[in-house]
Chains A and B, each alone.
Chain A
C-alpha cells in the first residue's frame, strides 16, 4: 500500500507547528498504525531528517501511552481500539491520513505528536488512592463485595488514561477519565473512607487543570478504547452533588 500522511510537526512546546505531507510506500495491511509511522521515521532518518516524535510503549493496547488523532478521530475511531492496535488494513491504498496530537489546553504539545498528560497524573494524585493498612495482605473473602459492584468497578478500572476522551470531547473535558477513576474506588468498600474528599479533590484538580466541562455529548465514551460508559459520568455527578449537599463542602 501507498499511504500519504499529513503529520503535525512541532519542534518543541514553544514552537509553532504545521501539518507536513509525507509519502509512505511499502505499507503492509498487517502493520499497525505505529509501525507505519516507524517506516516513515526510517525514511526520515535515512534522509537525515528529524523523525516524527510520538508516544508509545506496550503496543498491546493496555498501557495508554499511544494515542493520536487520525483523520479527526481519537485512535482512528475504531471501536475499542488504541492507535497501536489499529491496523493499516483499516485504510485503502492511496489514502491520505491526517495525524494530529491530542488538542487540549490541559495537554500542551511537547513535540510533534507528543502531549504532556501530566494533568491526568495530578488528578490521580489528588484522590485516586485509598488508605490501606500496611502489613500482610488481608484474606480476600473477608470483605464481601456484591458481584455487580465488582464488575462495575472493574469496568471503570480498565481506564488506561490514554486521554482519548479529552481529545474527542468538543469541550476537551476530562469528565470520563475522572468519572472512571472516582467510580472504580467509590464502588468498592476499600474506597469508602475517602469517598467524599476524593470526588471533591479530583473534580477540583480537573477544573483547575483547564479542561472544559461536560455537555453530555458522548464523544468521549465512543472514542474510549476501553469502552467506559457515559453512566460513570452520571455516577460522578451523583457522588459530587450528594457529597456537596450533605455538607462536605471543603476540599481537604
Chain B
C-alpha cells in the first residue's frame, strides 16, 4: 500500500492509476452493456434484472450492500481516473509552451488524439445519464422501478434522446479503441508478443461496446420495442 501511494509521484505512476481505474470502469461498461441487452427479454425480464441489481446479496447482507459497494468502487475509480487525467493533461500541455507553426502526424489516430475530449464527453454524459435513469429527474414520465417503461418512453418520446445517447456511446467506443490498449501498455503488460492481441482487444472493445450500447436506442426508435 505504501508503495502504491508513491505511484502518484511520477508521471508513469499517475498513468498506472489511470490505467487500473480505467480497467475497472471498462469491466463495468461491459457488464452494463450485457444488462442493457436484457431489454429484449421484455418488460418482465428487464424489470426483474433491474430489481435484482438492487437487492442482490440480500438477505445474507444488509439491504443494498452490494449495490453500494459497487457504486463506491465506481465513484472512487471515476474520481481517481479524472484526477490523473487533469494532472497529466496540465503536465503535457506545459511540456510544449511554444507550439509549432506547422504540425503533421504520422502515427496518431483519431481515437488517440481525441481521448481527452471523448473522456470529457463521457463524464458529462454520465452525470446526465444518472439523472435520467437512476435519479429520474432529467425527463418527465419517469417511473421508479419500471426501467423498461423509462427506456422505451425516453427514446420514443424525446426526439433528441437517441442521438445524444448514440453520440455518447460513440465517444465511449472511441475512448476504448485507444484506451484499452493504452492501459495495457501503461501497466507494462504489453510486450511485442501481446501487441496484436491487445490492439485487437481494444478495437473489438471499442466497436463491440458501441454496437451493444447503440442497439437499444435504435430498436426503440425503429418501434421494435414498445
Residues of A within 8 A of B (CB): 6, 19, 69, 71-73, 77, 98, 100, 103-106, 168, 170-173, 203-204, 206-207, 210-219, 221-223, 229-231, 233-242, 244-247, 249
Further contacts, 7 of them, CB under 8 A, given A73-B106, A237-B16, A244-B3: A71-B102, A72-B100, A172-B95, A203-B10, A206-B11, A213-B92, A231-B195
CB contacts (< 8 Å) of B106 on chain A: these are 73, 77, 168, 219, 222-223
Task: Check A207 against B11 for contact (C-beta < 8 Å).
Answer: yes
Q: Beyond A172-B95, A212-B95, A216-B182, is A244–B188 a contact (Cβ under 8 Å)?
A: no
Task: Check B12 against A210 for contact (C-beta < 8 Å).
Answer: no
Task: Check A234 against B191 for contact (C-beta < 8 Å).
Answer: yes
Q: How far apart are B102's CB and chain A's nearest CB, in angstroms? A: 4
B37 is an interface residue with CB less than 8 A from chain A: no
Q: Beyond A19-B101, A72-B103, A103-B99, is A210–B11 a contact (Cβ under 8 Å)?
A: no
Q: Can you list 28 contacts pairing A with B, beta carbon distance less than 8 Å?
A: A6-B101, A69-B102, A72-B100, A72-B103, A73-B106, A100-B101, A105-B97, A170-B92, A170-B108, A207-B10, A213-B12, A213-B15, A213-B95, A216-B181, A216-B185, A217-B113, A218-B107, A221-B107, A231-B192, A231-B195, A234-B185, A234-B191, A235-B188, A237-B187, A239-B188, A241-B12, A241-B187, A245-B4
What 6 pairs across the A-B complex have the smallest Cβ distances?
A: A238-B188, A212-B95, A172-B95, A171-B92, A212-B92, A222-B107
Residues of B within 8 A of A (CB): 2-4, 6-7, 10-16, 88, 91-109, 112-113, 115, 178, 181-182, 185-192, 195
Q: How far apart are B187's CB and chain A's nearest CB, in angstroms? A: 7
Task: Check B107 against A219 for contact (C-beta < 8 Å).
Answer: yes
CB contacts (< 8 Å) of A222 on chain B: these are 106-107
Which residue of B10, B104, B112 is within 8 Å of A216 (Cβ)? B112
CB contacts (< 8 Å) of B107 on chain A: these are 217-219, 221-222
Task: Check A103 against B96 for contact (C-beta < 8 Å).
Answer: yes
CB contacts (< 8 Å) of A240 on chain B: these are 10, 12-13, 188
Most buried by B among A222, A237, A239: A237
Q: How far apart are A212's CB and chain B's nearest CB, in angstroms? A: 3
CB contacts (< 8 Å) of B92 on chain A: these are 170-173, 212-213, 215
Which residue of B108, B190, B191 is within 8 Å of A217 (Cβ)? B108
CB contacts (< 8 Å) of A229 on chain B: these are 192
